[in-house]
Structure 1
Amino acid sequence: MGIVFAPLGLVLVFTAAITPQWREGQARLGVGGPGAKGQGLGGRSGSVEALLLLRSDGLWESCLQVERSELKHCWPVVGPYKWDPRVRLAQGLVLTSLFLCGTGIVLACIGVRCWTDLPLRGVAASGGLLVVTAGLLSLTALGVYTHNLRGLGVDPGRRISSPRFPHLSLHPAGSLYFGWLGSCLQVLGGGALLFSFKRPRCPTCPSRPELPVCPACSSCPEITNKTDMDVYEVSC
């Protein structure tokens, strides 16, 4: 469960980080001939044609597209949105989360050691702890962004919309849902790695029951003289 969920969560969070659909908004912009002056945000009026503009923002990129057309333009985030401390906090948390999750997956793969019978439990648990921490960091970034979604990069002195710059009704977009799902998978996968590798119960020596021994030890002939198949079954 941990080996499957942790990489899947990493892929989903990475997909959310690089896509510009953290929040979306749309507005109708009236365009037309000279008779369109002053029509602004209305629908069709005389020679005025209303275009539906779709705006999307991510952590590092923003896009603007005209509905039902191939006209789309994307650019790196700029202005107040780029320097908003909450956006920069989300960027830092997501980058840290991706680094910790990748490191945790590497440690988990080394600790699980699927090619041997006995895993390195401490290494695998350390990887699980890093993956859980990564999931919590990305959840924090998503929570901060979602809570302040409509106010990110908004100058309080420019809240009044104009026909040239219509007001956008912003709402959460698809990248946020990818991030939420990936973060939850990271927490689940890291928790599975963290708590599933317990120290096995070694059988006690019939001659000296007060001393626990391991099947790999040679301190108890009653155990070490068993066949290889018996020893393999005990280690499982």
Structure 2
Amino acid sequence: MVTGIVFAPLGLVLVFTAAITPQWREGQARLGTAAPGSLLRLGAKGQVVGGRSGPVEALLLVRSDGLWESCLQVEHSELRQCWPVAGLYQRDPRVRLAQGLVLTSLFLCGTGIVLACIGVRCWTDIPLRGVAASGGLLVMMAGLLSLTALGVYTHNLAKLGVNPNSKVTNPRLPRLTLHPAGSLYFGWLGSCLQVLGGVALLFSFKRPRCHTCPSRPELPACPACRTCPEISNKTDMDVYEVSC
């Protein structure tokens, strides 16, 4: 139970961090040239505008996409522009599937953690094992859903937002080589922790086996210790007070 209570919230935080950050995939490209010290700014949706004549050097642009936000940044500078996902990328059914699975995963994991906390009942001696295990089942399902979302996104990473029927290319636009970024790794780690935490909580269904009273084998010794002569007559028993 302790393992599940620790792993489940940690996994939830990591998956939530991955969901709100725009670094699910990244690509770099050199676009145009600019004079050292020239004034540049990023326009709407990341267009680089501005500048003046002088010695020139290539601009290295870093493009990143997430589930709900895209960003464009000029490397080694403070020029950065972010905007909500739009266009073909936003309408891509695989992106929408990943969005829905991640949101469902976050909801199930949060609900499972609440049930697990109620079931573990660290402030009492006896936990509600069925409630804790039910929470673990929800947490495990949340981890599997987020793993599915991450798998779908990673498998189609380079195809998301690309129209397969379009054969028109603009030579003035840079060609990005997209690769997985940091948010995906946060998501993978968080999802694995959710699955492990949920499986650990599922073991709450298994009740610990108590020793039976020798003279009354039909009763477990735990609730029947006062009626069991072999136990109640012992004078050298140690008594411990247990608290969480």
TM-score, scaled relative to structure 1: 0.84
Residue 67 of structure 1 is aligned with which of 52, 59, 75?
A: 75
* Cross-structure match for 2:50: none
Residue 9 of structure 2 is aligned with which of 1, 7, 10?
A: 7
Matches of 1:66 and 1:159 in 2, distance apart?
29
2:204 is equivalent to residue 183 of structure 1: no
Aligned length: 220
2:227 is equivalent to residue 220 of structure 1: yes
Residue 115 of structure 1 is aligned with which of 123, 131, 135?
A: 123
Distance 1:159 1:220, change over 3 A: farther
Contact kept, 8 Å, 1:9 with 1:186, in 2: the verdict is yes
Q: What's the offset of the Cα at 1:67?
A: 1.0
Matches of 1:20 and 1:118 in 2, distance apart?
44
* Cross-structure match for 1:40: none
Q: 5+ residue gaps in structure 2?
A: 36-53
Contact kept, 8 Å, 1:216 with 1:224, in 2: the verdict is no
Matches of 1:58 and 1:146 in 2, distance apart?
12
2:165 is equivalent to residue 165 of structure 1: no
Distance 1:232 1:126, change over 3 A: farther
2:57 is equivalent to residue 55 of structure 1: no
What secondary structure does 2:222 align onto?
Answer: coil
Question: What is the aligned-residue RMSD (CA, Å)?
Answer: 2.6
Q: What's the offset of the Cα at 1:160?
A: 5.2
* Aligned partner letter, 1:29: L
* Aligned partner letter, 1:150: A
* Aligned partner letter, 1:14: F
Distance 1:75 1:159, change over 3 A: farther
Contact kept, 8 Å, 2:60 with 2:75, in 1: the verdict is yes
2:102 is equivalent to residue 94 of structure 1: yes
Residue 29 of structure 1 is aligned with which of 28, 31, 38?
A: 31
Contact kept, 8 Å, 1:131 with 1:190, in 2: the verdict is yes
Q: Structure 1, residues 11-50: CA drift from partner, whole Å, max 9, x if none? A: 00000000000000111111469xxxxxxxxxxxx96542
* Aligned partner letter, 1:215: C
* Aligned partner letter, 2:140: V
Q: What's the offset of the Cα at 1:63?
A: 0.3
Matches of 1:106 and 1:198 in 2, distance apart?
20
Q: What's the offset of the Cα at 1:216?
A: 2.8
Contact kept, 8 Å, 1:202 with 1:212, in 2: the verdict is no
Q: What's the offset of the Cα at 1:215?
A: 2.4
Matches of 1:117 and 1:195 in 2, distance apart?
18
What secondary structure does 1:106 align onto?
Answer: helix
Matches of 1:13 and 1:231 in 2, distance apart?
44
Q: What's the offset of the Cα at 1:68?
A: 1.2
Q: Structure 1, residues 32-76: CA drift from partner, whole Å, max 9, x if none? A: 69xxxxxxxxxxxx9654211110000000001111111100000
Q: Percent identity?
A: 80
Q: What aligned pairs does 1:117-136 form with structure 2 within 5 A after superposition?
A: 117-136=125-144
Distance 1:160 1:27, change over 3 A: farther
Matches of 1:198 and 1:231 in 2, distance apart?
26
Matches of 1:23 and 1:161 in 2, distance apart?
21
Distance 1:182 1:140, change over 3 A: same
Q: 5+ residue gaps in structure 1?
A: 34-45
Matches of 1:126 and 1:81 in 2, distance apart?
37
